[in-house]
Amino acid sequence: MTHRAPWECTLAKEGPSRCLPGKRPRTDREYFEVLSLCILQAGLSWASVRSSWPRYRRAFFNFEVAKLAHAAPAALLRRQGALRNPKKVAALVANAREFERIREKHGTFGRYLRTVKSEKDACAILQERFRHVGPYTAEFYLHCVGRSVYGS
């Protein structure tokens, strides 16, 4: 059965993929939520993430960039329903702050991302600017926001 990223996504380079690229987010909050999903999912099963996602949304202020950018990671770790991985939680806060810097300069994150023409460059920029984002996570994120590096 074919589905759209991000849930249970198998990327094309790993074998025959039945996962279509995700739809382009309409808002910066949606772009940020997908980035957070890519970070939080690493090392966890999709079933666990999917069942916990409503709790994560509540614990992390519905992934509202401004609220997370001004949150203390230690306080977030104590919130009911939050993931208890301090490195991932600290990354969410740092990444929200980076989102704010990008928005100050470019207006929106979506506009900024569209200025980067090559997927290779976009992957490099994501890894450089955001915490807890390596090559696989950067590729997966682009796939999830409709910029598949796999030509699907």
Residue 85 sits in a domain whose CATH number is 1.10.340.30
pLDDT of residue 152: 42
Does residue 149 lie within any of the structural domains? no
∠ CA 90-149-152, rounded to 5°: 125
What percent of the chain has a predicted confidence (pLDDT) above 90? Answer: 65
pLDDT of residue 4 exceeding 80, the answer is: no
Residue 65 structure tokens = 């960039």
- In angstroms, how far is the first alpha carbon of the chain from the final one? 16
Q: Which residue has the higher pLDDT, 17 or 140?
A: 140
Mean pLDDT for the stretch of residues 53-77? 96
| Cα–Cα nearest to 35, from 117, 114, 109, 103 | 109
pLDDT in tens, 113-139: 999 989 999 999 999 999 999 998 998
Residue 15 structure tokens = 């074998």
Q: What is the mean pLDDT of the chain?
A: 87
Does residue 62 lie within any of the structural domains? yes
Does residue 56 lie within any of the structural domains? yes
Domain limits for position 107: 28-144
